[in-house]
């Protein structure tokens, strides 16, 4: 697949908790139960957003131990809205 936009990033993730949990409202980076993941977003001007996510941990020596990558196809993430808005103003074929 070829996409005119691709972003690779590292992310912190944490499990969902209820409003009565002391961790509720904390960002994953502020929580002790966070996990790390590598994430790639790819999309073309007309088409779905492809997302690949691979969680990972580290062994006792600090070496990265990646998990199997998950591939999702769907609507673009909210942070991509400015890009999609700019694309909507471009003439067809550009």
68-92 confidence digits (pLDDT tens)? 999 999 998 899 889 888 888 887 7
Domain boundaries, the chain: 5-89
pLDDT at 17 over 80: yes
pLDDT at 8 over 90: yes
Alpha-carbon span 13 to 76, nearest angstrom: 19
Burial category of 81 from C-beta neighbours within 10 Å (exposed 0-12, middle 13-18, buried 19 and up): exposed
pLDDT at 41 over 50: yes
For the whole model, what pTM was predicted?
A: 0.73
């Amino acid at each position: 697949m070829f996409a005119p936009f691709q972003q690779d990033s590292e992310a912190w993730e944490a499990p969902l908790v209820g409003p009565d949990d002391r961790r509720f409202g904390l960002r994953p980076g502020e929580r002790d139960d966070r996990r790390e993941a590598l994430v790639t977003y790819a999309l073309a001007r007309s088409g779905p957003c492809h997302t690949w996510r691979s969680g990972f941990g580290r062994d006792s020596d600090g070496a990265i131990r990646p998990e199997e990558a998950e591939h999702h196809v769907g609507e673009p993430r909210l942070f991509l809205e400015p890009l999609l808005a700019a694309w909507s103003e471009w003439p067809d074929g550009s």
